[in-house]
Structure 1
Amino acid sequence: MKNVVCDLCFHHCVLKEGQRGFCRARIVKHGKIICENYGKITSLALDPIEKKPLRRFHPGSNILSIGSYGCNMRCPFCQNHEISMSETIPYHPISPATLVELACAKRKDGNIGIAFTYNEPLISYEYVFDCAVAAKAKDLAVVIVSNGMIETTKLLALLPYVDAMNIDLKGFQDNIYEELAGNLEQVKETIRCAAAHTHVEITSLIVPRRNDAIADMLKQCKWLAQIDANIPLHITRYFPHYHQLDAPTDIQLLEHLLQEAKQYLTYVYKGNW
């Protein structure tokens, strides 16, 4: 059989029969790329919407949050590495119809919909798409928390069923993304595209000596403001996780970055500090 190219993100993995892609979630079977983690749910919780984080989308509400496994980046400070970096973690199979039923049953607890989060949800593109279509048919909100690494054609097909996104912006230099096995230009295009079609908020985790330069934050915020100065930005504090054990980000530096960001953006929030 010929090799098959996965067209979901910039990696464009060239795969043989039975081979998984870089994300560990997509595999070739019978000559086709399939979503191997389709409906394999490793995490499920009813979370406050602010935890996504979304501060300007239905504040005070709850949302049923789910995750699977795998990721198409390799962040050494990943806070969910137990699921994002594994394909052997225990899971529960949950079909789109069952997930929508669960979400509807949680309405009595203030649930407004479904959030695809925890690991990178867009590598489960087919499952997210099917669930989003089913959710909208039941008037449930659909939220995606993503690193933004997806081809624009795929994103545009999904966005009519998405009510809000939080997109990680992990730095504003190409070399930062290269070190994390990502692609800054693809993330920027995702932000531009999503902001034109749905509610978008941005999260920047500030990691010491990696993406903590004030000049980069100013450049990032100026760029975001050119899209829409009302896009909320969440500045989040790094804590030791996974392979990176440096001390947590300095609070004074975070305060400085927050004040600098406010020069360009209307809504800048403290994350977990």
Structure 2
Amino acid sequence: MNTMMTFFIRLSLCVFLLSLSACSSTSAIEEEQVSGEKVTVSYDDSRDPLEVINRPLWTFTWDYVDKYLAKPASELYVTYTPPFVRTGLYNMALNLNEPASIINNLLQLKFKEAAKSTGRFTLNSTIGLLGFYDPASDFGWSGEQEEFGEVLGSYGVGNGPFLVIPGLGPSSVREEVGDYVDGLYWPMAVIDFWPNIARLSILALEKRAAVRDQEQILLESADPYEFIKNAYFQNMNYRLYDGNPPIIIDEDQEAEIDALLDEFDE
């Protein structure tokens, strides 16, 4: 039931954002007040048709939710939780994702990775005390997990429009659909509401702690929203190709560079 509730809440939000974009006549062009004058700002990123809506949602998430809730909570958790407890709780939260990872690997015909995920879940759930310890890593069994969103991507389904989920951060239509399907796998589908909230909280706190060192780069970027959006799509591409994304050459940019080099040669 908790999976269905979460899905419908997030689905309703996505539909709401899409409807706002459809009804708005300023989805591509917006006027901003800069030094008392109106300045026209164009939003023409094909990956982000909801940019006019996503930007204020990102400002709300970063300037308020993260600043006053997520970051302080993560710092308190890291400071006062003993390292071995943190590691154990994080391992347990990740271990619950292994059955989904097994199926998602099989759907991509990654039989070797599926076997590793099966071994990890079996060993860590028994000898590892429900995943608190990670003895599977001693056998060199990777902890990389596959999500259903990656399955969709491997079959040619695009990311879809970029989304900013208020209070949660960057996402996409494909990732939201993938998360919902992952939630239907055992044991996620039978976990009660509060244990699932605890699991998601642990994952969120650790994720926020992991980006603490990169926070300054974001603060110093000329456009934090654009920076986080590009980083999101690069990360999705990196995961889709298991760390070996294809090199895409921009022919127009290459032509400009060649022309510039020719001028220097002359």
**TM-score of Structure 1 vs Structure 2, range by shorter chain:** under 0.3
User: Which one has the largest radius of gyration?
Assistant: 2
Report which structure shows greater RCO (CA 8 Å, sep ≥6): 2
Query: Normalising by structure 2, what TM-score?
Result: 0.23
TM-score by length of 1: 0.22
Q: Which one has a larger percent helix, Structure 1 or Structure 2?
A: 2
Higher strand share: 1
